[in-house]
A and B are shown apart, each in its own frame.
Chain A
Amino acid sequence: MRRSIYAAVVTAVGIVILADLVVANPALGSVAGFLTGLLVLLAAAAAIAGALTLLVRHSGRIARGTDRAGSLAVLVGMTLVLVPGLLPGSAGADAPAVRWVVAALLAPLVAAIFALLFPLLLSAARRGLRLRGRESGVMLAGAAAVLVLLLPIGGEPGAWLASIAAWVQAVPVAAVFRGMLLGVAAIGALTAARILLGAEGIDE
């Protein structure tokens, strides 16, 4: 019964917003606008709820003595970013202190974590070859071929490599990704239809 109510609400809201896209009607537009406003509030509420949950969880961990260092690091990080922006008279995200925290701490940290992908991927490639040699070998041969095509070389050799890279990108890679995206979209639509029609429960 509860699942039917949720499904009915989701279906009704989706139909109203879709209808507003297709039909030019002021009354429908105002209803759709109201619902969109509610969605924005819901997203904001979810973000605040997420932050509060994080605060409660990690405070509890500190109190219980479970991974105190990690939880303290999370809370100190949250405080460092939130407090300068929420102080009275602060300009929020525009405040110099917040901009400093982002530029001096957040941006380098996130970029460094992203940069770790390089050695981690290489390490995973080596392990993959040890565990499943044939399949990993095929995948890594493709990766090596793409690396060669993308070498930043100038002149005639570089132009030749770039033209092959453009073909590879436009034809086989694009075909594979389009197939994957179509497949994911089809599965998503099917799953959504099953949930909305209540067909999920039939298999249980």
Chain B
Amino acid sequence: MSEARRGVGRGRRLPRGILPLALIAALAIAWLVPQLPFLSLGGGAESTLGDDLHVAIGSLPDQPNVIVDMDPDLGTYPEIRYATRAALADLMAVGSRVAVVSFSTEGRAIAVAEIARLRAAGAGPDRLVDLGFRSGGEAALVQLTGQPLDRDVSGATSPVLDQLQERGGGLGAFDLALVVGGGDMGPRSWIEQVEPRVPHLPVAAITPTFLLPQVQPYREAGQLVALAGTLPEAVAYGASVAGGGATSGPERVPEQPPNALAILVGMLVALAVLLESGMSGLVGGLRGASRGRRG
């Protein structure tokens, strides 16, 4: 091979690691840039995405009792955190009394953090009760359907639980079950184990996108009364709750939606890699075929 060709070949090869660093730099820049007007994750002001959950919570009776099953996965929780916090703020805004329970260890860790955040924002024991972690997965969920629910995680009563006892205690005393899924326990467990035993308890869900094929049929069949199962739906719902105007307290949505520009950059990088790989494969295949014909 001639020196000139060797030199051209060396000049084309990028330094090792430059592409990952360039990707990180691009994502960091995109993350720091404020929201651009032509980008929209939640479908814009006219979109009906996210109405599902907003309507379900808005149609609850006055001062409803809501049980929140926090069982997301630590890996996928960043995708649904905005919608989850918006849902908790929405529940506080409509005057709900919220009981939080978890059936997985990761869910419990996240529930503890969210409960601490709400308490720091001003949600007192008359609005929020911690039912703790129930081990045993679906067996524990089945047990919950038959238990009176008169004690919180520390074994004490609370105004929320006293109010539940007036309505008969147990899961039947709740007006809505909101399931935050992503881990092993999720909306499917509630529909399979709870709905046959407590049929009049409506179940709504917030799930990451990978669970959508599993939960979408339940939504279409009406077994789930509301679902925020994709990022656009979650962002649209969060935006509609944040637009309610609360600037302090547990009714405030405490964070910004995911950055649409960073997501766009990541998707364009993925498209570029897929395209480049496809074109390289196609060109290589055509070259091989032409060499074969010549040979």
| Chain A residues engaging chain B, CB cutoff 8 angstroms | 17, 21, 29, 33, 36-37, 39-44, 47, 93-94, 98-99, 102-103, 106-107, 110-111, 113-114, 118-119, 122, 125-126, 129-130, 133, 137, 140-141, 143-144, 147-148, 150-155, 158-159, 162, 169-170, 173-174, 177-178, 181
Contact = CB atoms under 8 A, between A and B. Distances in A.
Contacts of B273: 122, 125-126
Nearest to A122: B273
Contacts of B157: none
Contacts of A155: 38, 40, 44
Interface string B205-243: 000000011101100000000000010100000000000
Given A21-B196, A106-B109, A162-B232, A152 B264 contact: yes
B289 interface: no
B263 interface: yes
A122 B272 CA distance: 10
B267 A147 contact: yes
B278 A159 contact: no
B139 A36 contact: yes
- Interface bracket on B: 35 or more
Nearest to A43: B136
Interface of B: 20, 23, 37-41, 43-44, 47, 73-78, 108-109, 112-113, 116, 133-137, 139-140, 142-143, 146, 153, 196-197, 212-214, 216-217, 230, 232, 260, 263-264, 266-267, 270-271, 273-275, 277-278, 280-281, 285
A37 B143 contact: yes
B143 A40 contact: yes
Contacts of B116: 94, 99
Nearest to B130: A94
Nearest to B276: A126
Contacts of B213: 173-174, 177-178, 181
Contact of B112 (A43, A44, A99): A99
Given A154-B38, A154-B39, 17 more contacts: A39-B136, A44-B136, A111-B78, A113-B75, A114-B75, A122-B273, A125-B273, A125-B277, A129-B277, A143-B274, A144-B271, A144-B275, A144-B278, A152-B39, A153-B38, A169-B216, A174-B216
B135 to A, nearest CB: 5
B264 A151 contact: yes
A93 B264 contact: no
A140 B274 contact: yes
B74 A36 contact: no
B44 A158 contact: yes
23 contacts: A33-B143, A33-B146, A36-B143, A39-B136, A39-B139, A40-B136, A41-B136, A43-B135, A43-B140, A93-B108, A99-B116, A107-B74, A107-B109, A110-B73, A110-B74, A129-B278, A144-B274, A147-B270, A148-B271, A152-B39, A152-B232, A158-B44, A177-B213
